[in-house]
Structure 1
Amino acid sequence: MSNHLRTQSLVFGIPWPELNEGLFYSDVVPHSDSELTLIDFYSRKYKNSAPLQGWLQRIQNGQISVDGRVVKDPNTILSGDSVLVYHRLPWKEPDVPHLLEVLYEDDDMVALNKPSGLQVLPGGLFQQRTVLTQLCWSVKKQNSTLNSQETHPVPVHRLGRGTSGILVCAKTKVAKTRLAAYFADGTSRVGATSNRKAERSGTRKISKIYRALVTGILVDDKVIINQPIGIVRYPGVAKGLYVASPSGKPALSKVEVLERDEKQNCTLVQVEIESGRPHQIRIHLSFIGHPLLEGTRGLRTLYQETAAITCMLINLFFRIPPQMR
C-alpha cells in the first residue's frame, strides 16, 4: 500500500490562456521527392488541408522551416532527408472548464473528477484545453515550488468530452502498464468468450458504471446488449463512424432501470460496460431504441452534450502491489 495517501478533496487548475501555442507538424522529405519545390511538396501531399493559395500564404508568412531555418520562398528546392516543420498558428479553443477535483491519490495513481465539456487528450479543436495539459501544468508548478523531481500523471483511459466522472491517471510507468491492463481485461474477456462464461471467469479489476437519461420508457428492468460495434465509411469523416454492426468487435453493456418518468417520456438508467468500444453507451442505447437524451430537460439532465454520469468504482485493485514498483 502506498505511503502517501490523499483522500481529502483538492481542486486544482490554471485558467486557460486566450490562445493556445498552435501546432507543429514535421515531415522528412523522402528521396523520391527531392528536387520538388516547397510549394509543390505541401500542395500535393496536404491538398486536403489547404488549397495551393493557402499553402503559398503559409510559406510567405514564415510558418514553415527547412532544416531549422524559416523559408519564405515557395520555390525553394528540397533535398532528400530534409526536415520540414509547419507551424499552425495559435487559435482560441472553445470555452471549457479548467478546474479538476482530486478524489483519491497515492504514490501510484490519482483519480480525478472530470467535468463535462473537458476533453481528456488533445484532438481536433482541443489541443491545449485538456485534462492532460492541466496535469502537466500542475506537475511543472510542483517541481518549480519543490525544486525536486515529481511524477508525471497520465490518463490510462478516456471519458467522452461531454461525460463527467472519475478519470484514473497513473503516476509511474509500472502503474500505467498495470492499470491499462486492468481496463483492457473486461474487453478481452468479452471478445474471447461468451457472455455467460465471461461472468464466471473471475472478478474484473475495474468496473465501469455510468448513469444516463434516455428517451422513452424502458419496459424491462434489466437489459443485456451484446451488439458488436464497428466502423462504416461516411462522407466527410476520414476515419469513418462507429455504429452497431454485425461485423464489428464484440461489446457488452448491462442496462438497469433506476427511474421511469412517463410524464417527460424518459428513463434514468445505469449502464455497466464490460468492454470499452468507442461511443459504446451511445450506440448500444440507440440500438435498443432509447438514445441518450440531449440538451436539458429538468434537473436530471445535468450535462450539455449528454446526460451521462460516469461512476467508475475505485477499489483496492487499483493499488499497485509493492513488489511491482
Structure 2
Amino acid sequence: MESFGVPWPPLNEGILYRDDLPATFPTSSLLDFYCTKYKHSAPREGWQQRILNGQIMVDGEVVEKLDRYVRAGNQLTYHRLPWTEPPAPWMLEILYEDDHLLAVNKPSGFQVLPGGLYQQRTVLTQLMWRYTSAADTQTQMQTRSCVPSPVHRLGRGTSGVLLCAKTKVVKSKLSVELAKGASLQVSNVAEKHIVKIYRALVVGIIDIDETFIEEPIGMISYPGVLKGLYAATPEGNIKTAFRF
C-alpha cells in the first residue's frame, strides 16, 4: 500500500495567538493584559522580554515598548517562537482513497490534531503538506482540491484506522454515522453504522471469556498535554463501563 510523509524539520514554525479585545474591555497596559490573562504561561519578567523581543503585535504593528496601552477593539497577536517538538512518527499508510474519503493507518505516537507540545508534528500537518504541495498539475488539482480533514480522533498512543473527509458533506455524514455507531452495543456491529472497536494489550493470563470493567473517568495530568487527558482515576466523576 502507498505511504506518504515528510520528515519533521528540527524546529516548528511557532504559533500565533490572537486576542480581539471586546467593546467592554477597559484600557490596560499591554504587559498587564498578558500577565493577567496568561499568567500561567510565563511570569511578568517573561512577558516583558517577549514584548522587548518584538513578539507581540497590536493591530498588525510590532510593539517593543513596555508602556504601550491597549483598549477595546484592538487585535493582539503573540508569536510564540519556534521550538523542537518531542519525537513523533511522520509516515502514514493509505488504506483507501477516492474523491470523497481517505482512510489512513495512524501509528502509535502520532497525534492527530495540534495540542500541547505537538503543534506541527501531527497527522493534520502531514495531510496539509501532501494535499497542498502535491497539487502541481491540473489533474492533481481536480482530484486533490481539498485537504482531507480527520473525522474523528485517535489518541496519540493509539494506532488504527483514521477516516478523513475531503468535503464538508462527507465529513458531516461520517460524523453522524460515527455518533450512531457509538451508541450501539458491540453485539450490534452488523448494523450499518461506523463502529470503533479498540483492542488492548494486557499483561497476565485471562481466565474468563468476558468481563465488565467499571471505573470512574476523570482528567489527569499527562506529559505533553496542557490540559491533561481523561483516564481511570478514583477522583473521576464520569461513570462508564467496558465489556471485554
When normalised by structure 2's length, the TM-score is 0.86
Does residue 248 (structure 1) correspond to residue 241 (structure 2)? The answer is: no
Deviation, 1:241, is: 4.5
1:183 is matched with 178
Alignment match, 1:295? none
Q: Cα offset for 1:32?
A: 4.5
Distance in structure 2 (CA, Å) of the matches to 1:254 and 1:123: 30
The Cα of 1:144 is off from its aligned counterpart by 2.6
Q: Secondary structure of 1:215's partner? A: coil
The alpha carbon displacement at 1:239 in A equals 6.1
Structure 2 counterpart of 1:14: 6
For 1:201 and 1:56, locate their aligned partners in 2 and report how far apart those are by CA, in whole Å. 57
Q: Tell whether the 8 Å contact from 1:114 to 1:166 is kept in structure 2 after alignment.
A: yes
| Selected match of 1:57 from 32, 46, 49 | 49
- Give 1:206's aligned residue: 194
Q: What are the superposed Cα offsets for residues 204-258 of structure 1, whole Å, 9 maximum, x if unpaired? A: 5123233322122222022244x37543587x97567443678525x45332xxx
- d(CA) in 2 for partners of 1:200 and 1:154? 28
Deviation at 1:182, TM superposition (A): 1.5
CA contact (8 A) 2:111 2:122 kept: yes
Asked if 1:44 corresponds to 2:21, the answer is no
Query: Kindly tell me: are residues 214 and 200 of structure 1, through their superposed partners in 2, closer, same or farther at Cα, counting changes over 3 Å?
Result: closer
Cα-Cα RMSD: 2.7
Q: Does the CA contact (< 8 Å) of 1:33 and 1:41 recur in 2?
A: no
Equivalenced residues, count:
238
1:71 and 1:52 mapped to 2: Cα distance?
17
Change (3 A) 1:171 1:252: farther
Instruction: List structure 1 runs of 4+ shifted beyond 4 angstroms.
Output: 198-202, 236-241, 244-247
Mapped partners of 1:127, 1:209: distance in 2:
28
The answer on 1:231 being equivalent to 2:218 is yes
Task: Name the larger-Rg structure.
Answer: 1
Aligned to 2:71: 79
Cα 1:75–1:95 shift into 2, 3 Å: same
Is the deviation greater in 24-33 or in 100-109?
Answer: 24-33
Q: Distance in 2 between matches of 1:233 and 1:253?
A: 19
Q: Is 2:94 the counterpart of 1:102?
A: yes
Deviation at 1:148, TM superposition (A): 2.6
Distance of 2:160 and 2:104 partners within structure 1: 8
Shift of 1:125: 0.8
| Aligned partner letter, 2:34 | Y
CA distance in 1: counterparts of 2:112 and 2:229, whole angstroms: 21
Task: Give the SS at the match of 2:34.
Answer: helix
Distance in 1, matches of 2:28 and 2:157, equals: 45
Q: 1:47 to 1:200 in 2, by over 3 A?
A: closer
User: Does residue 156 of the first structure (1) align with residue 143 of the second (2)?
Assistant: no
What is residue 129 of structure 1 aligned with on the other side? 121
What is the alpha-carbon distance in structure 2 between the residues aligned to residue 184 and residue 229 of structure 1? 22
What is the percent sequence identity of the aligned residues? 49
Preserved CA contact (<8 Å) 1:66 1:82: yes
Name stretches of at least 5 consecutive residues in structure 2 with no aligned partner: none
Q: Deviations over 1:265-293 (max 9, x none)?
A: xxxxxxxxxxxxxxxxxxxxxxxxxxxxx
Alpha carbons of structure 1 residues 176 and 240: separation in structure 2 relative to 1, 3 Å? closer
Q: Equivalents in 2 of 1:55, 1:66: separation in Å?
A: 15
**Are the structure 2 counterparts of residues 115 and 34 from structure 1 closer, same or farther at C-alpha, using a change threshold of 3 Å?**
same
**What's 2:163 paired with?**
168
Code of the residue aligned with 2:232 in structure 1: it is V
Q: Is the 8 A contact 2:189 2:195 kept in 1?
A: no
